[in-house]
Amino acid sequence: MKFWFVTGSQFLYGEETLRQVEEDSKKIVAALKLPFPVEYKLTVKKTEEITKIVKEANYDDECAGVITFCHTFSPSKMWINGLAMLQKPWLHFHTQFNDNIPNEAIDMDYMNLHQSAHGDREHGFIGARLRMPRAVVAGHWADPEVQGKIADWMRAAVGSLFSKNLKIVRFGDNMREVAVTEGDKVEAQIKLGWSVNTFAVGDLVKLMDAVTDDEIDALMKEYAELYDFDKADEETIRYQSREEIAIEKILVREGAKAFSNTFEDLYGMKQLPGLATQHLMHKGYGFGAEGDWKTAGMTAIVKAMYPDGNTSFMEDYNYDYKQQVILGSHMLEVCPSIAAERPRIEVHPLGIGGKEAPARIVFEGKAGSAKVLSLIDIGGRLRLIAQDVECVKPFQTMPNLPVARTMWKPAPSFLEGLECWIIAGGAHHTVLSYDITDETVRDFARIMGIELVVIDKNTTKYQLERDMMLGDIIYGR
């Protein structure tokens, strides 16, 4: 994936100025330290050039987005035809080559050359006039903080392209009678590009039966490198590895990057996939339990934005009003990428599902600032809810709860944070990410054209109620 850098100008100032504009643009691009490469493409001077480069950007699968900047004035009517057909994420970088106004050097020529304060306003107008979703970042290009904002947008752009190609495999349906894990899959494909389809558990079991000992041995080695476990549990763990290998074969065969399953539909399987699912998440696959394909998809997207990051499927379970924390966990399926220390595989009985005692990875989640994300179908539209949380080291050991666990305090404060989440309709399933930033969440929702509800330190529940009403007017109900 790479990003294209296109500089806006025009013929008015002569060849020498255009040469300088190009040279400066290349210097800017070379100095950007970003998570994905940026390629300087062209200084555009006329309608035909802009239309052509937009078509090329749309067509190039490796182009994740387009960054524009107007070094000089670049009359915006010549941008209309091109921008109107742009299908890639767009960032308008409002920068200026020099970071100051020189006292002696400034004359009319200098002013013509270094006039992004002027040219970028024309460029901004046409973005607003076309009602185009775009990120706007202002500041000097050498400033690391400014570059950080571009990096945040890049993550969102990469996530959006990933989303548009995302295939999600469902083993079994949603958990019976549960509402929030339901949703309009056609709408999800129209808005997010997700292809969500079901695959028979019986076929998965057939593939599991065909997994060889050699395949299992190889995966067991991988487990041993990452996790501690007792020799006595090996047989149970080998069964999880059999499940993991078979699930991944289907994911690879289908080109899928996320999956869901449900404990209500495990016919022919001896254990609920615990370790299997956890290790698949660790490898970058998205997952949602109880048929929750929406959380599976969002988990995969955040993992694609931050390939070496700390992101997991998560579920809210219990409160401690004194300590003002939420206990987050799941029956089994929490990703070890959020572990505070080296995790352990353990085998314990599971009260739900009526299967054999499954192997699972047990650990404490790490402390730190994070976000929980929930994608819900609110009827006629998708709503993404993002809440700031502060993860803390669990204040007790909970020796009889042998699952991965973490604790956090929600923003703006414990109780108001809970009230806000409930008012917004946030699910009990979430994506917990220690990586995703406010900018990236906002950029992603804007690129995808979905409703975003942010709950952070500035949120109040009454303002949030108002936002819900406004959302119904903006998006329809």
- Residue numbers at the binding site for Mn ion (CB under 5 A): 289-290, 315
Q: Give, in order, the Cα–Cα distances in Å from 277 to each of 246, 285, 286.
A: 11, 9, 9
**Do residues 82 and 50 lie in contact, with contact meaning Cβ atoms separated by under 8 Å?**
yes
Instruction: Count how many Cα atoms sit within 13 Å of the Cα of residue 75 in the half-sphere of its side chain.
Output: 9
* Cα torsion 427, 431, 436, 441: sign: negative
Q: How far is the CB of 243 from Mn ion (least distance, A)?
A: 18
Q: How far is the CB of 301 from Mn ion (least distance, A)?
A: 19
Q: Give, in order, the Cα–Cα distances in Å from 138 to each of 96, 116, 368.
A: 9, 11, 29
- The beta strands (E) that lie in 150-274 are given as 167-171, 195-199, 258-260
Q: Judged by CB, which is closer to Mn ion: 152, or 290?
A: 290
Q: How far is the CB of 429 from Mn ion (least distance, A)?
A: 6
Q: Judged by CB, which is closer to Mn ion: 290, or 364?
A: 290
Q: Judged by CB, which is closer to Mn ion: 305, or 338?
A: 338
Q: How far is the CB of 177 from Mn ion (least distance, A)?
A: 13
**Do residues 18 and 43 lie in contact, with contact meaning Cβ atoms separated by under 8 Å?**
yes
Q: Judged by CB, which is closer to Mn ion: 54, or 432?
A: 432
Q: Give, in order, the Cα–Cα distances in Å from 166 to each of 161, 184, 258, 440, 452.
A: 9, 16, 8, 19, 20
Q: How far is the CB of 178 from Mn ion (least distance, A)?
A: 9
388: which strand partners? 371
Three-class secondary structure of residue 252 per DSSP = helix
Q: Judged by CB, which is closer to Mn ion: 53, or 331?
A: 331
Q: How far is the CB of 294 from Mn ion (least distance, A)?
A: 13
Q: How far is the CB of 58 from Mn ion (least distance, A)?
A: 39
- Of 155, 156, 187, 65, the C-alpha closest to 446 is 156
Q: How far is the CB of 321 from Mn ion (least distance, A)?
A: 23
Residue closest to Mn ion (Cβ): 289
* DSSP-assigned letters across all residues of 347-358: E---SSSS-PPP
What secondary structure letter does DSSP report for 233?
A: G
Three-class secondary structure of residue 43 per DSSP = strand
Q: Judged by CB, which is closer to Mn ion: 204, or 314?
A: 314
What gap in Å lies between CA 367 and CA 390, rounded to an integer?
7
Q: Judged by CB, which is closer to Mn ion: 211, or 431?
A: 431
Q: Judged by CB, which is closer to Mn ion: 120, or 290?
A: 290
What gap in Å lies between CA 34 and CA 31, rounded to an integer?
9
